[in-house]
């Protein structure tokens, strides 16, 4: 198991780590930027609310106690009269709201004065009104998300009853809900709301950090990761090609090492490996396994009289006959020189002797004429079946003994040690 990364893997790790760090920093900076924008919006709302309060308080103080002054709630109809402070507040609110779509003033109370516009209260307005009338906790700040995903900050402060306003609010002149006000009582709430446009939520720092992130990723990708990955890919392609070539060469070498070059059937090495493996497999399965040892009769005379080319031709022809007569499950090999071996699997004595006889008859009937020479050949065969106590050497030696017995008995025959013989 590997204990470390290679250069390419380290490059990817560095790139991914850098991107993660930059993304975390970007997310943190983005959050701080949004918080800064919202905080600045609340500061602006506080300034506007204080300006409105101070303006109205100064107006109230300036007209309080002035003799002979007449007040009106309809300043347009009575231009020679002064506006009530509440009327001034309403006019100022309407004028400001008409000219500033994203910043709005609102005034609301559970005990509105006669000049009130009577606007409907939402949840925040009602909670702010209830909280500010029951405690001294001020101001109340709230951030809400609008349906178009913009943010809106809402800043609410109490409207405190001034000394110059007590008489009017407690007057029987109008049918007011409450007429027992005292100086310092909270008679309503003044709210400033500022809607933040989406561009306001992104700072230059956030954009700069994003550019740094993109630039860093590009530099790492172009100069570190891409070359490393390209080298790694080239190495893997080369390794893959080498592996395929090595596997092909191994298979070729193995085939060459276990194939007889002249006949293209198994050679002695192939036979030695197959007989050991098949003995083990057939003992485990309990199936019969037989061995045929074959030798061409008087083959030395063929080489001496007609030459080795004709002898090679005859050996090739016999190898083809052996492949044609035997089954795909059987194993055919050139044991050496003019000697062949056949491993026959899964047949009883009669079946094995039947295959041996067909081989003998086909070879005896075959015309081996070559290069103008009329040639006829026969073959001797020793046949035996694997016994429980047999090892490889004993199995082969018994088949060899039967082969030489067939030659001593006149050649061109099958000699077996089975209990029954093929008919």
Which domain, by its residues, includes 370? 268-416
Q: Is pLDDT above 80 for 299?
A: yes
What's the pLDDT score for residue 423? 36
- Pair 196, 272 in one domain: no
| Structural contact between residues 196 and 41, judged by C-beta atoms closer than 8 angstroms | yes
Percentage helix, strand, coil for the chain under 3-state DSSP, each rounded to 5: 55, 15, 30
79, part of any domain: yes
Q: Is pLDDT above 60 for 204?
A: no
What's the pLDDT score for residue 10? 65
What's the pLDDT score for residue 45? 82
DSSP state of 119: P
What's the pLDDT score for residue 117? 54
pLDDT, the chain, mean: 81
Question: Tens of pLDDT along 283-293?
Answer: 888 899 999 99
Q: Is pLDDT above 90 for 270?
A: yes
What's the pLDDT score for residue 79? 65
Round the CA-based radius of gyration of the chain to a whole number and report it.
55
- Pair 409, 282 in one domain: yes
- Pair 310, 390 in one domain: yes
Question: Tens of pLDDT along 109-126?
Answer: 777 765 555 566 788 888
247, part of any domain: no
Higher pLDDT, 28 or 366: 366
Q: Is pLDDT above 70 for 384?
A: yes
- Pair 164, 297 in one domain: no
Q: Is pLDDT above 50 for 1?
A: no
- Mean pLDDT lowest among 5-19, 81-95, 300-314, 345-359: 5-19
What's the pLDDT score for residue 295? 97
What's the pLDDT score for residue 328? 94
Helix or strand run (H / E) with residue 363: helix 349-365
Q: Identify the top-confidence range among 28-32, 68-72, 253-257, 380-384.
A: 380-384
378, part of any domain: yes
- Report the sign of the C-alpha dihedral through residues 36, 39, 45, 48, in that order: negative
Higher pLDDT, 182 or 168: 182
Q: Which of 201, 220, 244 is the last residue of a domain?
A: 201
The total number of structural domains that make up the chain: 2
Parallel/antiparallel/unpaired status of strands 82-83 and 71-72: parallel
Q: What is the number of other CB atoms lying within 10 angstroms of the CB of residue 254?
A: 12
Span 93-97, average pLDDT: 79
Read off the pLDDT band of 385 (50, 70, 90): very high
- Report the sign of the C-alpha dihedral through residues 352, 357, 360, 361, in that order: negative
CATH of the domain at 304: 3.30.70.270
């Amino acid at each position: 198991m590997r204990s470390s990364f290679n250069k390419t893997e380290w490059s990817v790790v560095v790139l991914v780590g850098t991107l993660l760090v930059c993304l975390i920093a970007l997310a943190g900076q983005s959050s701080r930027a949004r918080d800064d924008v919202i905080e600045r919006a609340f500061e602006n709302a506080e300034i506007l609310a204080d300006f409105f309060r101070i303006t109205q308080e100064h107006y109230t103080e300036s007209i309080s106690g002035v003799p002979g002054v007449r007040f009106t709630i309809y300043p347009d109809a009575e231009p020679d009269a002064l506006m009530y402070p509440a009327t001034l507040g309403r006019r100022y609110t309407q004028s400001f709201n008409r000219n500033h779509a994203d910043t709005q003033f609102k005034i609301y109370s559970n005990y509105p004065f006669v000049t009130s516009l009577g606007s409907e209260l939402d949840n925040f307005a009602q909670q702010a009104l209830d909280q500010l009338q029951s405690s001294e906790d001020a101001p109340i700040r709230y951030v809400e998300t609008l349906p178009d995903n913009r943010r809106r900050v809402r800043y609410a402060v109490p409207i405190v009853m001034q000394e110059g306003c007590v008489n009017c609010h407690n007057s029987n002149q109008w049918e007011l809900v409450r007429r027992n006000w005292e100086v310092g009582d909270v008679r309503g709430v003044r709210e400033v709301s500022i809607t933040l446009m989406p561009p306001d939520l992104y700072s230059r720092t956030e954009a700069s950090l994003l550019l740094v992130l993109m630039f860093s990723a590009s530099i790492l990708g172009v100069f570190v990761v891409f070359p490393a990955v390209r080298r790694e890919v080239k190495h893997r392609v080369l390794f893959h090609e080498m592996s395929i070539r090595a596997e092909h060469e191994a298979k070729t070498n193995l085939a060459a090492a276990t194939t007889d070059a002249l006949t293209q059937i198994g050679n002695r090495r192939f036979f030695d490996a197959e007989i050991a493996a098949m003995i083990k497999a057939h003992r485990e399965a309990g199936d019969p396994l037989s061995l045929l040892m074959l030798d061409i009769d008087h083959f030395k005379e063929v080489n001496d009289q007609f030459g080795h080319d004709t002898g090679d031709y005859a050996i090739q022809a016999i190898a083809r006959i052996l492949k044609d007569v035997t089954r795909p499950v059987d194993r055919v090999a050139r044991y050496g020189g003019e000697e062949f071996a056949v491993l026959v699997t899964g047949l009883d004595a009669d079946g094995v002797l039947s295959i041996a006889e067909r081989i003998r008859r086909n070879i005896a009937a075959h015309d081996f004429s070559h290069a103008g020479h009329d040639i006829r050949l026969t073959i001797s065969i020793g046949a035996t079946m694997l016994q429980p106590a047999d090892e490889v050497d004993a199995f082969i030696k018994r088949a060899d003994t039967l082969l030489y017995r067939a030659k001593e008995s006149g050649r061109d025959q099958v000699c077996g040690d089975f209990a029954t013989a093929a008919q």
